[in-house]
Amino acid sequence: MRNRFAATGRRGALTLLALVAVAAGLVLVVVAVAAQQSAPRPPRAVGRIDPSPTAGAAANPRASASADPVPAVSGPTSTPLGASRPVRITIPRIGVRSPVLPIGLADDGTLAVPQPGPDLDKAAWFQNSPTPGQPGPSIIEGHVDSDQGPSVFFRLGDVRPHDTVRVLRRDGVTAVFTVDAVRDFQKRSFPTSVVYGGDLHTPQLRLITCSDFDATIRHHVGNEVVFAHLTSTHR
Amino acid sequence: MRKSLRALVPIAAAAVPFAVLAGPASADTGTSYQTTLNALNHSSGSGMATVTVHGNQADVKVSWSGLAAQFNGGDYPHVQHIHIGGQGACPTIADDKNNDGVISTTEGGPAYGGIGTTLSTKGDTSPKAGTDIKIAPAGGSTDYSRTITLSNDTMQSLQAGTGVIVVHGLDPATLSKQAQKEKSDLVPSLPLAATSPALCGALSSMPSGGVATGTGSTAGVEQLGTFALGGGLLALGGAAFATRRRVSAGR
């Protein structure tokens, strides 16, 4: 008799344990599946990097400048602005609206990146590059993801030529840029002079994030770069 | 992983894969320097410059606009140089020692140093050509591109971070009445405006290689910890059922 009662009690406990474990397990698996997300993969190359309408195809017949049939973004390049730090970037197409911090070089000579902490998921402007609206390429970068998950430029791979990027400056002027091209470069062959240099005359913007995650070595081997030029300014 | 989920399943945090960041790699050979050129002395101009060094050769690009366009009925010559051996900085109005409202080339000297290389349009690039207006870019804007041989002094200054690009030549009308009457501190036959600095930018290294803007937390399978915990609980549940059946069978 005692044996039977004991057996019944153990059966009840095991049933309860089994049900709870299975229910909790299912919930966790569903939660994990629901949390799966991945950054949009940028195209290898769309649009023309050289936006200058005056220095058109005839003046710049470099074959590498034209990557696909997307027509060059037209429209006048706006008059350059003076220096004033960027404070906020807005990219309507991908829902980005972020403060912009100044950032310098890391000890190894690469562009530093926002570090873990309150600024990790903010966009960062390379402080030795022109301020947005000044002549030359202004550089703004952002993480695609961090240990916290998707970051500020998570969806940068969805940006395409003709999209708009707005940068509010400390002087109250908003510099409006139109995207000319998107490139996906390999980090080991990153074209430094194309991204940080190039046309020094036209006010331009470059947006940079990571791309091409290599699962075997567990890091990103590519950098997506969005090329844009200034098309208007307003207060 | 979202923060709320991390709070729900703390153990999952430990399983978030972290990636070793990619080491720097530069595709371009040579060392590159860059600077924005900002207005001095209310010149209202702006620009940008890059210097890419290969051995003792340098590809120098200087682009600027918004400077005075006319001088004595002709295109305004704007002499431009890489200044070296100073503090590697641009002067401020605090350097205007004689309080005439203009930072003269001499007054700017402690900040940006002396002339290391003259960025002339042709011929001599030594400091001797520093005030030769016949080989200076002329007009209100320029897109200057020239490959030149750098002196050892200039090379060392670039590496030390004390190279500064200075473009000279102000619109006299923007000067104070006092300063409009003054003669140049460099070339006494010219007015002060003609040789005073209009644009300045301290050269610094261009970033090398790409940027490390991601950890890969959203690449591949995320929430590995949650999957593991969920799977473990399912296995535990299965084991409990099996044991329960054995207990029943043994009755």
Residues A141 and A182 in one domain: yes
- The answer to whether residues A128 and A69 belong to one domain is yes
Domain with A229 in it: 45-234
Answer yes or no: do A16 and A126 share one domain. Answer: no
CB spacing of B47 vs A135 below 8 angstroms: yes
Nearest CB to B219 within list A19, A215, A223: A215
Of B22, B52, B215, the CB nearest to A187: B22
Flag whether residue B214 sits within 8 Å of chain A, measured between CB atoms.
yes
| Chain A residues in contact with B52 (beta carbon < 8 A) | 193, 197
CATH code (residue A225): 2.40.260.10
| Average pLDDT score over residue span B60-75 | 91
Q: Within 10 A of A115 (CB to CB), how many other CB atoms are there?
A: 10
The answer for residues whose C-beta is within 8 angstroms of residue A205's C-beta and 6 or more apart is: A132, A137, A138, A140, A165, A167, A175, A177, A226, A227, A228, A229, A230
Mutation target to probe the A interface, by most A beta carbons within 10 A, among B34, B213, B226, B233 is B213
Let me know whether A101 and A125 are in one domain.
yes
What mean pLDDT is predicted for residues B84-94? 95
* Residue entry with tokens 């030594």: B126
pLDDT in tens, A117-131: 999 999 999 999 999
At which residue do the structure tokens 């706006």 appear?
A: A78
Residue B219 predicted with pLDDT over 90: no
Amino acid found at A178 = T
Higher-pLDDT residue of B174 and B35 is B35
pLDDT for B119: 97
Question: Same structural domain for residues A21 and A55?
Answer: no
Q: A75 and A168: one domain?
A: yes
Determine whether the interchain pair A32/B226 forms a contact, defined as Cβ–Cβ distance below 8 Å: yes
Would the CB atoms of B206 and A193 count as touching at under 8 Å?
yes
Same domain, A57 and A148: yes
Tell me, yes or no, whether A123 and A25 share the same domain. Answer: no
* pLDDT tens per residue, range A183-225: 999 988 899 889 999 889 999 999 999 988 888 888 888 999 9
Same domain assignment for residues A32 and A49: no
Tell me the backbone φ, ψ of residue A232, rounded to 5 degrees. Answer: -165, 165
A187–B233 C-beta distance less than 8 A:
no
By Cβ distance, the residue of B208, B212, B238 closest to A192 is B208
DSSP per position, A170-211: TTSPEEEEEEEEEEEEEGGG--HHHHHSS-SSSEEEEEEEEE
Q: How far is B115 from chain A (nearest CA, A)?
A: 22
Beta carbons of B233 and A22 less than 8 Å apart: yes
- Given a cut of 50, whether residue A74 has pLDDT beyond it is yes
Which residues does chain A have within 8 Å of residue B22's beta carbon, measured at their own beta carbons?
A: 187, 219-221
Same domain, A119 and A21: no
Cβ–Cβ under 8 Å, residues B169 and B190: no
Contact B214 A28 (CB under 8 A): no
Residues A105, A20 share a domain: no
* B232 pLDDT higher than 70: yes
Q: What is the tally of structural domains in chain A?
A: 2
- Clarify whether residues A86 and A187 are in a common domain: yes
Residue of B nearest to A153 (CA): B213
Query: pLDDT band for position A68 (50/70/90)?
Result: very low
The mean pLDDT of A173-190, rounded to a whole number, is: 93
For B33-60, what is each residue's pLDDT tens digit? 999 999 999 888 899 999 999 988 999 9
Please answer yes or no on whether A141 and B19 come within 8 Å at the CB atom.
no
Nearest CA distance, A9 vs chain B (angstrom): 11
Residue of B25, B36, B38 lying closest to A187 (CB–CB): B25
d(CA A126, CA A128): 6
Per-residue pLDDT at A65 exceeds 60: no
Residue among A24, A139, A188 minimizing CB distance to B25: A188
* Residue B61 pLDDT exceeds 50: yes
Residue B220: list chain A partners with CB under 8 A.
Answer: 213, 215
